[in-house]
Structure formats: C-alpha cells, structure tokens
C-alpha cells in the first residue's frame, strides 16, 4: 500500500459546502474589470462599464439598465450584488458545455430620471446615445464578437432611440442584435425595418404600470411585420412578486425566474450570432 496516500473524510455538511464553493467558482467569469470608455471628440466624463468576460464567448451583450441608469461603478470593482445583474453574469458560464456570452453593464455618469411629462427624454439625449455608440464600438473591437444591445425597462427606450440616432461613425450598424426586456411603454420602433434579430422579453405578470406587457406585444407585432431578420417574443412565466416597488422588484426584474430569463437570452443570442 502506498505510504503517501492521504484519505480525507468529509461530513455531509462539509461535502455540501465544498460543492457550493465549486459551483460558485464554475459560474465565475474568466475575467472581470471596470473599463472607462472615453467620449472621443465630444469629451466629457468617460462612461464606466463592467465587463464580465467568458472563457468561450460567441457574442457580447451590452446591458443599458433601467431606472435612472446609474450603477455607480468603481474603478476597482469586479462585481455587483443586484440579483438581476448576477443572473446576467451567468451567461458567461461555459460549464454546461455550451458557449458563453460576454456581459457588459453600462453605467451612465448622469441620472436619467423620468421628467415630469412621464417620458424619459434623457434617454434620447445626444450625449447618452453617443455614449452607447462609443461603448458598442469599443467592445466590438475589443472582443471581436457580435455585439448585442439589451435595454431593460427604461433602458429599452435607450436602445430604440439609439436605432434612430445616426452619429458620424454609424454606430448602429455595428450592433448585431437587440433584446427589448420589460420595456417601458415609451419604447417604440418607427416604420423603418430594423434589419436585426430582435428578442422581446417580458414577464407575463409584470406589475409595473409603465411596463405593461400588452405594449411590448404591440411593439413585437409592429416590428415583426417589417423586420427582415428574426423577431421573437418570449414571456417569462415563473418567479415571485417581491415586496418592493413593482417597477424595481418582483416580476418586473424577473425575481425567482432568473434561470428562465437567462435560458431565453442564451438560446436566442447564440442561435442568431454569426
């Protein structure tokens, strides 16, 4: 018998803790960092972005958050605790044998609160849209992968406005697909064909009055008629209502239905990325 053989005995609790640690490590991105993106010729404060890199990425998903659009990212930060962002981070995981997706969180340097008229006009401001363009160009060059834009809630207004925005460097042409998630009713598409894969994602029981699922269905039907690419609508059905504001928690943020949300994102993005 080999004298240097060491046998370790673990209690049930120790085994459970060890499995939990290994599972957490498996879901950790290959690399994470905050990267400031310059505003180029416009100058001004850089746009902070948190990049979660996958070991085998086939695409890059850039999220434009809802609410006021501010995450308050710090230069040394590599993570954020919010459950919604943690669920998106899982897209970087490749342990199931499927390719991963790089995830980028966009942090506006300025608050984009709703104006008194009810429509988040700040989401259509040239400074905001040029920042989105700069981030798209940066990550297109950095990753060499198709870049997708995802707008959640008020962020959906940002990406629909971005389609109408045409800056000097034709940034919209560098976007490979769109995810319109839990969209605020003000997010609308005009008559021009989108020409990109578009996934509409919404919780069927969304309780936020400004994010009525019926408005998203109407947008979907409008885009599907003219889009020259794939257009799909997927309802998220599971989850929990939550105890906070219906526009910042619960079904609107896919609470308890995170896996259902990420499965829909992963399958659609990977199926439509070349």
Q: What angle do CA 66, 133, 143 make, to 5 degrees?
A: 95
pTM, to two decimals: 0.87
* CA distance linking residue 228 with residue 196, whole number of Å: 7
DSSP track, 112-169 = -PPPTTSS-GGGG-HHHHHHHHHHHHHHHHHH-S-EEEEEETHHHHHHHHHHH---TT
CA nearest neighbour of 65 among 76, 54, 78, 49: 49
Question: Which DSSP category does 194 fall into?
Answer: -
Residue 203 has pLDDT above 80, yes or no: yes
**235-253 pLDDT, tens digit each:** 999 999 988 899 999 999 9
* CA distance linking residue 59 with residue 72, whole number of Å: 25
Residue 3 has pLDDT above 60, yes or no: no
What mean pLDDT, rounded, does the chain reach? 87
Q: Tokens 């659009």 appear where?
A: 69
**135-159 pLDDT, tens digit each:** 999 999 999 999 999 999 999 999 9
Residue 132 has pLDDT above 60, yes or no: yes
pLDDT grade, residue 117 (50/70/90)? low
* CA distance linking residue 108 with residue 45, whole number of Å: 10
Residue 266 has pLDDT above 60, yes or no: yes
Q: What per-residue confidence (pLDDT) applies to 27?
A: 55
Residue ranges of domains in the chain, CATH in brackets = 30-271 (3.40.50.1820)
For the ranges 22-36, 149-163, 191-205, 254-268, the lowest mean pLDDT is seen at 22-36
Answer for the pair 211, 249: CB distance below 8 angstroms, yes or no: no
Answer for the pair 129, 137: CB distance below 8 angstroms, yes or no: no
**46-58 pLDDT, tens digit each:** 999 999 999 999 9
Q: Tokens 């045409």 appear where?
A: 166
Residue 225 has pLDDT above 90, yes or no: yes
**75-98 pLDDT, tens digit each:** 999 999 999 999 999 999 998 888
**170-190 pLDDT, tens digit each:** 677 799 999 999 999 889 998
């Amino acid at each position: 018998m080999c004298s240097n053989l060491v046998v370790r005995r673990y209690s049930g609790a120790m085994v459970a803790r060890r499995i939990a640690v290994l599972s957490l490590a498996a879901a950790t991105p290959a690399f994470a960092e905050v990267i400031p993106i310059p505003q180029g010729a416009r100058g001004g404060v850089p746009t902070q972005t948190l990049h979660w890199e996958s070991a085998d990425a086939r695409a890059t998903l850039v999220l434009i958050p809802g609410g006021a659009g501010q995450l308050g990212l710090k230069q040394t930060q590599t993570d954020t605790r919010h459950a919604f962002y943690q669920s998106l981070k899982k897209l970087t995981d490749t342990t199931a044998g499927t390719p991963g997706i790089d995830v980028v969180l966009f942090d506006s340097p300025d608050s984009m609160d709703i104006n008194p008229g009810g429509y988040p006009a700040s989401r259509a401001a040239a400074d905001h849209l040029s920042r989105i363009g700069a981030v798209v160009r940066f990550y297109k060059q950095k990753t060499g992968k198709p870049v997708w834009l995802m707008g959640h809630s008020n962020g959906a207004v940002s990406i629909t406005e971005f389609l109408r925005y045409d800056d000097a460097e034709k940034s919209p042409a560098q976007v490979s697909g769109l995810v319109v998630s839990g969209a605020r009713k003000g997010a609308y598409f005009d008559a021009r064909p989108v020409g990109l894969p578009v996934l509409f994602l919404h919780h069927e029981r969304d309780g936020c009055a400004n994010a009525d699922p019926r408005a998203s269905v109407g947008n979907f039907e409008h885009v599907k008629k003219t889009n020259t690419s794939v257009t799909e609508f997927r309802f998220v059905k599971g989850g929990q209502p939550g105890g906070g504001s219906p526009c910042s928690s619960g079904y609107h943020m896919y609470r308890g239905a995170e896996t259902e949300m990420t499965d829909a994102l992963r399958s659609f993005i990977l199926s439509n990325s070349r």
